[in-house]
């Protein structure tokens, strides 16, 4: 289990510097570097930064602590992932990274703070798929626009597990489809909200098979799980960390996971994709957490930050800690992060419309 210190909401938590950081900066500042040496210093993790007259060399940035805005409360999954990765990034940058939690309005308060701050490389922030895909699609008025942020790295995705009551005579997702077809208009499934992944993914499955399954929305995973175990509903999607104890106790069956890779926490549960579920909603994980910055942050700084967060997620200890939270570690480049956003937004838009939601974007 991960042992994390207790944090209070809104508390600034400082990530300690390595002792050698100050000495190293002094040596760099007083050393007359050749162009060749400057290129070597600017090259991080194999990513060479351009050396124009206004380029940010390592000796120029960062020369003071960075602020990292997390738009959710301390101790939550997004907060924990950012702290795990940022400790290692701080060591590499030779500067403190101060985590500042700014929750409110479903992440909109913190996201607006990141988007509107000075784009000088000293303030970055966390984001989620909910904050920059779902909220803009379902709300006409937001305090920021996605065009005001720059992508740095997608750190981890949030998978979901297709779960059934033990009375359902299916041991994998392929057998489940046969059972659904043999019981048209007889089955029901639950989710934590209209438009949630558990709703739209099951809706997609039901409509594709003409199954006529009935949707029952719940206020949270706890009552949803209680009714699944009790047999009031037959199917539902759950987060891996929520459902694992019940599966280990034999009270539910796990038939498949979202995304294209099996989970470290559930290695024997195949993906829905490998079982023939080819629709885009099953190939992607429904949520993710990533790092962003104000849109006009200098490109060299964005590249450096991207390289460092990618390297942090690849560290075995960070990778394992994220997996223990029930997430899938990624550590993408900025370009890959942007591509994920562009690919998933239209999928969610179409599914929201199918679900009868009032789509604004």
Per-domain boundaries in the chain: 13-158+286-354, 161-283
Separation of alpha carbons 265 and 160, rounded Å: 12
Q: What pLDDT, on a 0 to 100 scale, did the predictor assign at position 15?
A: 37
In DSSP notation, 318-351 reads: HHHHHHHTT-EE----HHHHHHHHHHHHHHHHHH
First to last CA, the chain: 41
Separation of alpha carbons 49 and 67, rounded Å: 23
Separation of alpha carbons 148 and 234, rounded Å: 43
* Overall average pLDDT of the 15-32 stretch: 36
Q: For the chain, give percent helix, strand, coil, nearest 5.
A: 45, 20, 40
Q: How confident is the model at residue 59 (pLDDT cuts 50, 70, 90)?
A: low
Q: How confident is the model at residue 322 (pLDDT cuts 50, 70, 90)?
A: very high
Q: What pLDDT, on a 0 to 100 scale, did the predictor assign at position 166?
A: 96
Fold classification of 161-283 is D-Maltodextrin-Binding Protein; domain 2 (3.40.190)
Q: Domain 13-158+286-354: which CATH class?
A: alpha beta
Return the structure tokens found at 48.
Answer: 């060479």
DSSP-based three-state secondary structure for 91? helix
Lowest mean pLDDT among 48-52, 117-121, 305-309: 48-52
How many other CB atoms are there within 10 angstroms of residue 353's CB atom?
A: 12
Q: How confident is the model at residue 241 (pLDDT cuts 50, 70, 90)?
A: confident
Return the structure tokens found at 104.
Answer: 């409110």
Q: How confident is the model at residue 220 (pLDDT cuts 50, 70, 90)?
A: confident
Separation of alpha carbons 93 and 101, rounded Å: 22
Q: What percentage of the chain carries pLDDT values higher than 70?
A: 84
Find out whether the peptide bond into 62 is cis, omega within 30 degrees of 0: yes
Q: How confident is the model at residue 339 (pLDDT cuts 50, 70, 90)?
A: very high
Q: What is the mean pLDDT of the chain?
A: 85
Q: How confident is the model at residue 140 (pLDDT cuts 50, 70, 90)?
A: confident
Helices 299-314 + 77-93 axis angle, to 10: 110
Q: How confident is the model at residue 255 (pLDDT cuts 50, 70, 90)?
A: very high
Check for a shared fold between 13-158+286-354 and 161-283: yes
Q: What pLDDT, on a 0 to 100 scale, did the predictor assign at position 48?
A: 29
288: phi then psi, degrees, rounded to nearest 5: -155, 160
* Overall average pLDDT of the 118-136 stretch: 95
Q: What pLDDT, on a 0 to 100 scale, did the predictor assign at position 264?
A: 86
Residue 42 has pLDDT above 70, yes or no: no
Q: How confident is the model at residue 60 (pLDDT cuts 50, 70, 90)?
A: confident
* Overall average pLDDT of the 202-212 stretch: 93
Residue 32 has pLDDT above 80, yes or no: no
């Amino acid at each position: 289990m991960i042992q994390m210190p207790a944090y209070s909401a809104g508390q600034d938590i400082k990530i300690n510097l390595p002792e050698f950081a100050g000495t190293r900066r002094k040596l760099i500042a007083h050393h007359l570097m050749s162009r060749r040496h400057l290129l070597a210093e600017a090259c991080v993790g194999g990513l060479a930064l351009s050396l124009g007259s206004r380029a940010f060399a390592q000796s120029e940035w960062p020369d003071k602590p960075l602020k990292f805005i997390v738009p959710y409360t301390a101790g939550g999954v997004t907060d924990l992932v950012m702290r795990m990765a940022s400790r290692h990034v701080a060591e590499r940058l030779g500067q403190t990274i101060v985590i500042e939690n700014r929750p409110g309005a479903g992440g909109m308060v913190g996201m607006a703070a990141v988007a509107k701050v000075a784009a000088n490389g000293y303030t970055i922030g966390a984001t989620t798929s909910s904050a920059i895909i779902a909220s803009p699609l379902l709300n006409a008025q937001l305090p920021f626009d996605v065009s005001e942020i720059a992508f740095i790295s997608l750190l981890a995705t949030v998978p979901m597990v297709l779960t059934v009551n033990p009375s359902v005579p299916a041991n994998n997702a392929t057998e489940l489809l046969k059972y659904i077809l043999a019981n048209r208009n007889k089955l029901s499934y639950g989710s934590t909200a209209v438009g949630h992944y558990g709703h739209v993914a099951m809706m997609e499955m039901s409509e594709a098979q003409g199954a006529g399954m009935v949707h029952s929305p719940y206020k949270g995973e706890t009552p949803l799980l209680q009714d699944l175990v009790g047999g009031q509903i037959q199917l539902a999607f759950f987060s891996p960390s929520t459902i694992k104890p019940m599966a280990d106790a034999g009270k539910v069956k796990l038939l498949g996971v979202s995304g294209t890779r099996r989970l470290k926490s559930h290695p024997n549960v195949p993906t829905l994709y490998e079982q023939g579920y080819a629709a885009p909603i099953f190939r992607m994980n429904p949520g993710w957490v990533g790092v962003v910055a104000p849109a006009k942050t200098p490109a060299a700084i964005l590249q450096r930050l991207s390289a460092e967060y990618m390297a942090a997620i690849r560290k075995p200890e960070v990778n394992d800690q994220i997996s223990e939270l029930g997430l899938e570690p990624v550590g993408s480049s900025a370009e890959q992060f942007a591509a994920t956003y562009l690919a998933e937004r239209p999928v969610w838009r179409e599914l929201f419309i199918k679900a009868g939601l009032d789509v604004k974007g």
